[in-house]
Amino acid sequence: MLTITNVTWLNLLCLTGVGVYLVKQVVIKKNPKPYPPGPRGWPLIGNVLDMPRIKPWLTFTEWGQKYGDITHIEVLGRHIIVLNSVKTTMEMLDSKSTLYSDRPVLPMGGELVGWKDSLPFLPYGDRFRRYRRNFHRVIGSRAAVDVYNETEEVETRRFLKRVLAKPDQLQEHVRHTAGAVILRISHGYEVKESNDPFIDLANRAITNVSEATAPGAFMVDILPFLAKVPAWFPGAGFKRLAREWRETLEEMVSAPHKFVKDQMADGVAPMSFTSNLMEGCDMSAEEDYAVKWSAFSLYSGGSDTTVSAIYSLFLAMTLFPDVQKKAQAEIDAVVGPDRLPTFADRDSLPYIDALVKEVLRWNVVTPTGFPHCVTEDDIHDGYYIPKGSLVIPNVWFMLNNPRTYANPSQFNPERFLAKDGKEPEMEPRTVCFGFGRRICPGIHLADASIWISTVMSLAVFDISKVVENGVEITPEVEFLPGTVSHPKAFKCSIKRRSATAVGLIEQDANY
């Protein structure tokens, strides 16, 4: 694997080559305004050595504290703008969305692996708008998502059963259930209880893209011409890796789509995102392609992020038992012991809603979001933002800014409840689902999945620290690098709250 950390002779040769290229391309041009401030770069290579490789959001935060809300670096001629405040991000990515809604070309993840046709990576244009229309038509509002409430509830009840039976396999259960929910909604596919081929495919594809798109992970993203290097060339292992990942992706995109088309041909297809879009239509090849990738985009955009959030919930409940007790007291008072909570209870459970918000804030699932790309030169706050610049919102700092959130490292749902005349702190969903025309189109579906998992789990389980050899084990709060950040694997004790709770869990999940 050729990474930015492996400084080999090939890397040096490439850097020399690009340096010569840049020298030849130098054109003296006076900028209309100065670039935003940032770390000083080197001649020719710019800030290539400053670009963070591990947990870039922490370095971006340091830059923000030193240089202000807008930081500029230049890497081999490519301008990168890092945003460290909600106000500035909204002004640029929301209010000026006509300029800031494009996506950069990602040589590794987008071009070589093939994710360029999925919604998060699509350039702004006609195909992007078609995908968005597909999403809006099927899951574009809370009312539209309500159609899938029963699916969410059924799959979450199955999740409770799995956890009760094998609590030590929590992470696997969370991932299996998130995939089951999305595949039923996207393709009407009901997964097998274990060893499901689509779940396995999807998990591999999602893991691959998180690695492929992590900032600084592959030198080809810094030096795009490396994509032309043959796979046999020394140091070009990334080409062979990309080929493997591409095969997995192509199978995951095509196989569920074929499953729906076959079921529709037989007249037995259940309602789903895909069947809804294809029903009664004589589709062209282009329209069929758009539906196929739209449905896959729904899966890829929703499953891994949901896994991270729900796993974070269990970590938080392990570490903050007082929060868990308050949440359970609210559920007991409103729902009672005789049934499981449902979506119908949501408006009556304000503390649970605040708890879900705090989960989204405390572990920022996409800490640096997805980079935007500028389509035209812009002047913002007196700074020059050139066409083609990458714009990276530091979402992690926005949700951990001590000026916005009191004691941000503390898990405290009450920050989102009006109390004693004090206004709630900033709604985290304002920033954690993206910005402008690139805001996550599955926001309502993701929010519903996290909420129902939270309320049902807390209704029947007590979550606590594991005791080993008489010693209580406190999990480490460590969020791993990647485009989607997950909590580091941890141990926790998950036990039934009562015999009544077991009865509720054991009820037929297909009620």
- Quick check: is 441 in a domain? yes
Q: By residue range, what is the domain housing residue 448?
A: 9-506
- Quick check: is 3 in a domain? no
**For residue 57, what are the contacts with CB-CB under 8 A and spacing of at least 6?**
364, 367, 368, 394, 395, 396, 397
- Quick check: is 420 in a domain? yes
The alpha carbon dihedral of 324, 328, 329, 331 has a sign of positive
pLDDT bracket for residue 39 (50, 70, 90): very high
CATH of the domain at 417: 1.10.630.10
Q: Which residue has the higher pLDDT, 484 or 27?
A: 484
Task: Show binding-site residues for heme.
Answer: 440
- Quick check: is 100 in a domain? yes
Q: 186-190, 261-265, 507-511 — which is least confidently predicted?
A: 507-511
pLDDT bracket for residue 419 (50, 70, 90): confident
- Quick check: is 511 in a domain? no
pLDDT bracket for residue 19 (50, 70, 90): low
Q: Residue 341: its pLDDT value, please?
A: 98
Spatial separation of the C-alpha atoms in residues 62 and 424, rounded to whole Å: 27
What average pLDDT does this structure show over 370-377? 94
Q: Are 497 and 462 in contact (CB under 8 A)?
A: yes
Of 74-78, 158-162, 227-231, which has the strongest mean pLDDT?
A: 158-162
What average pLDDT does this structure show over 171-196? 92
88 burial class (0-12, 13-18, 19+ CB within 10 angstroms)?
buried
Of 5-9, 178-182, 263-267, 324-328, which has the strongest mean pLDDT?
A: 324-328
pLDDT bracket for residue 18 (50, 70, 90): low
pLDDT at residue 210 above 90?
no
Q: 23-32, 142-151, 191-200 — which is least confidently predicted?
A: 23-32
pLDDT in tens, 43-72: 888 888 888 878 899 999 999 999 999 999
What average pLDDT does this structure show over 464-470? 94
Q: Residue 508: its pLDDT value, please?
A: 65
Q: Are 128 and 268 in contact (CB under 8 A)?
A: no
Question: What would the two tokens of residue 364 be?
Answer: 């920022």
pLDDT in tens, 292-307: 999 999 888 777 889 9
Spatial separation of the C-alpha atoms in residues 503 and 333, rounded to whole Å: 19
What average pLDDT does this structure show over 151-171? 96
pLDDT in tens, 117-147: 999 899 999 999 989 988 888 888 888 889 9
Share of the chain above pLDDT 70, in %: 93
pLDDT bracket for residue 493 (50, 70, 90): very high
- Quick check: is 328 in a domain? yes
Q: Residue 314: its pLDDT value, please?
A: 98
Q: Where are the beta strands (DSSP E) in 347-460?
A: 372-373, 378-380, 383-385, 390-393
Spatial separation of the C-alpha atoms in residues 358 and 417, rounded to whole Å: 11
Name the average pLDDT for the chain: 89
pLDDT in tens, 246-284: 999 999 999 999 999 999 999 999 989 999 889 877 788
**For residue 12, what are the contacts with CB-CB under 8 A and spacing of at least 6?**
none
Give me the residue label for tokens 């909570």.
341
pLDDT at residue 350 above 60?
yes
What average pLDDT does this structure show over 380-406? 96
Q: Between β-strands 78-83 and 390-393, what pairing exists: parallel, antiparallel or unpaired?
A: parallel
Q: Are 137 and 129 in contact (CB under 8 A)?
A: no
DSSP state of 496: E
* Domain count within the chain: 1
Q: Which residue has the higher pLDDT, 300 or 187?
A: 187
pTM assigned to the model: 0.89
- Quick check: is 475 in a domain? yes
Q: Residue 99: its pLDDT value, please?
A: 96
pLDDT at residue 10 above 60?
no
Spatial separation of the C-alpha atoms in residues 65 and 88, rounded to whole Å: 15
Q: Which residue has the higher pLDDT, 35 or 224?
A: 35
pLDDT bracket for residue 29 (50, 70, 90): low
pLDDT bracket for residue 13 (50, 70, 90): very low
- Quick check: is 4 in a domain? no
Task: Show binding-site residues.
Answer: 440
Q: 219-223, 382-386, 401-405 — which is least confidently predicted?
A: 219-223
Residue type, 332: D
pLDDT bracket for residue 510 (50, 70, 90): low
